[in-house]
Amino acid sequence: MSDAKKNLLLFFDRPTEPCFMQKGENKSIFQLPDNYYPEKYRSTSNTIADRFGSDATQTIPIRNISLPNLSLPMQLPYNSQFSLWVPKHKEMATKLIDIFIGMRDVEDLQSLCSYCQLRINPYLFNYCLSVAILHREDTKGLNIPTFAETFPDKFMDPKVFRKAREVSTVVPSGNRQMPVVIPQNYTASEWDQEQRVAYFREDIGLNLHHWHWHLVYPFDSADRTIVAKDRRGELFYYMHQQIVARYTTERFCNKLGAPRRFSNFREPIEEGYFPKLDSQVASRAWPPRFAGSTIRDIDRPVDQIRVDVAQLETWRDRFLDAIDKMSVMLKNGRRVPLDEETGIDMLGNMMESSILSPNRDFYGDLHNMGHVFISYSHDPDHRNLEQFGVMGDSATAMRDPVFYRWHAYVDDLFQLYKNKLPPYTTDKLDFPGVRVASVSVESSGGPNVFRTQWEQSTVELGRGLDFTPRGSVLARFTHLTHDDFTYVIEVNNTSGAALMGTVRLFLAPAVDGAGAPLAFADQRRLMIELDKFTQALPAGSSTVRRRSAQSSVTIPYERTFRRQAARPGEPGAAPAADFDFCGCGWPHHMLLPKGAPDGFPVVLFAMISNWAEDRVEQDTAGTCTDAASYCGLRDRRYPDRRAMGFPFDRPAPAASLADFLTPNMSVRDCSIRFSDAVRQRQQG
C-alpha cells in the first residue's frame, strides 16, 4: 500500500485538531505550503511547523496544487452539525464527494484534504472523505476508522470524556489500563417504559451499522454509478424493515406493544427523548424533544429550509397513489408499471429520494424530510438558535423511540405494494426432491434454547479526544450478547443426484408483548433473517451444521469495534482477515433478541430453496461476502435472485405458519432465555 494512500487515514485522527499537528501513532505531520494555512495561523506558520515538527517521526510533504472551487461545502459553518437529510447539507456533501473522487491521484487528494481539513466542517469532511475512499479505485481496501473512534461524542454519555481527558492528562501513555466506564441506560429513569428497550436503541454497534449503511449507500452524486448500486432501493426497504421487525420483537420480549405508526403528521408525538449527548464539534448539547411535541412547518433560513407539513402529506399521498395504480408517473407524464421484479426497488428509491427516483420533483423526499421535520420539532423557525435533534443524523437517529414509529409507518407503505402482489405458489416455494426433515439448535442452554446476557467490552477513545495528550484511552460499555450456537438441519435429497441449495434461516416471535399468540399475518412481517448460505446436498440423507458466528447478516465484533492500534502484523494483532474492511453489517452481538428470564417463545424457520433458481452469476473473489443480507456486496450484484425477505415478503393465504410450509421447509419451537448477568469480553 502506498504511503500517500495510508496517509489519508491520518485525517481521521483527532478530527478537529489541525492537520499540521502530529497525527497517528507515529507522530506524523503534514508539511503544508504557506498558503494552505488559514489566515489566523499564516503569520506564524514557520513557528508552528517547527513546534510540531521537532519530534515528529514522519514528515509528509504536501503538494501545492491548484485548488478546486470549495465555496459550496465551505458554506457549512465549521462548528455546526451536519445532516445528510437536510437538503442544503446534502448538496454540499454531494459537491465535496465529487471533488474528492475527481482528484487526479492520491497525492493530489492528500493535498486537497490537508487544505480542507483546516476549513471544512469536521463531520462533513469525514463523511465525504469516507465515501470517496470507499468509491475511488485507488483507495479501495483502506481500513477507515470506525466512526465511534473518530467522533465518540455521537455515541456515549459526555461525562465519559471529562474522565477520559483526566486519564489522558494524568496517567502516562502505556499505563492507562483501567477503562473509563460508560454508564448503561443513562438517558431516562426506569419509570419510562420506553427505557426497557434502551439497550437496543442506544447500542453503539447498532447506531454504527445505521451510519455505515448510509455511508455505503449515498443517495446523491454527480457520478451516478456511486448511487446506482444493484437493487439499492429494495435494500433500503429491506434493511429498515428488518430493523423494525427486530425492534418490535425486542419490545415483545420486554412486555411492550408494537411501535405505534407515526401516520398522522398532525398529532403530537407521545414519546419525548432526552439524548444526553454533547457535540464536541458544535460545543452544544443535542436538543431534547419533549413529550407531546408536534412537527410544524419549517422556516429556517440558516439551513435554507422552508417547507410545510402539508408538503410531507402531499408526497405521502402521491406515493400511495402510485401503489394504488401500481404505476409511477415519470417527468414526461408517462406512467411505468410497478412490476413484481423491480417495483419495490423503484419505490425504495422514491421513498429515500435518491437520484434514482423516477420523478424526484413529483414524489419528493418523504423519508428524509420525515427525519428532518421530527428533528426540528423543538425549534422549527430557529428562533431559539437550536440545531437539529438526534433524528437528523444517521449516527444518532436509532437512539430515539420515534425513529421506529416513523420507520414502522414507512414500512407499512411498502407493505401496501407487497400486498398487491400475488402470493407465492407452491412451485415458487418448493424444491422438488429436497425434504427438510427437521431443524434444531444446539447451544449451551440445551436443545433449542438460545442464551443471552450482558457483556462488557472496550472501545478506543484516544483517536477522538482532540487537544489532549496522546495515547490509548479505553472506555468500557455494556451491551447485549448471546452464547454461540449451532443450527442442525436434517435433509433428505430423494432426487438421486447431488444438488445445490440455498439455506434460509429466520426467527420470529411466537407471542406478542402481552403473551398472546401471534397470527401468521403478523408473525410473517416479524420474521428476522438470521442467516443465508449455499449448501451442497448429496443424494440421500445428510445433516447440515452451521455455526451462528457464520451468519450472512452480521459482522464480527472485531469489525464493529476494532482497535486501530492493533493492526494485522503487529504484536497482539488479530489475523488480517478479521480487519478486512467490510464495515457494513448488523453487529453480531445483536444477532438475537434479548428474550426473557423465564424464556421468550420464538419459532425457528429453515428453508432450502433451489440454488439454480437463486444464484447470481458473478465473481465474488476478494469481495466481502459475510454480511451481504442487509448490505449487499461492494461493486457486485446482490447475491440472491429472490426478493429480499423471501419467502415472507408477500402475504400468504395460509392461516398459520404450519399451513404455509412446503416439504423443503421446517420449523422448531425454541426459547430465548436471558440471564441478567454481565460477563467480560475477552479482548483479542
Of 385, 154, 403, the closest CA to residue 261 belongs to 403
Helices (H) and strands (E) in the chain, counts: 23, 20
Geometric angle at alpha carbon 287, from 285 and 290, rounded to 5°: 140
Positive or negative: CA dihedral 626, 463, 70, 371: positive
- Rounded to whole angstroms, how far apart are CA atoms 99 and 79? 22
| Residues that are catalytic | 352
In the numeric block, the cell 448429496 is attached to 538
DSSP 71: T
Q: How many CA atoms lie within 13 A of 223 on its CB side?
A: 16
- Rounded to whole angstroms, how far apart are CA atoms 250 and 195? 12
Cite the DSSP H helix spans in 326-381.
343-352, 360-363, 366-375
| Secondary structure in 3-state letters for 146-191 | CHHHHCHHHCCCCHHHHHHHHHHHHCCCCCCCCCEECCCCCCCCCC
First to last CA, the chain: 25
What is the DSSP pairing of strand 298-300 with strand 305-307?
A: antiparallel
> Which residues neighbour 457 within 8 Å (Cβ) at sequence distance 6 or greater?
476, 477, 479, 557, 561, 681, 683
What is the DSSP pairing of strand 434-443 with strand 335-337?
A: unpaired
Residue 334 corresponds to which amino acid?
Answer: R
Report helix, strand and coil shares of the chain as percent, to nearest 5.
35, 20, 45
300 forms bridges with which residues in the sheet?
Answer: 305
Using the CB atoms, write b or e for 5-37: b if 16+ within 10 Å: bebbbbbbbbbebbbbbbbbbebbbbebeeebb
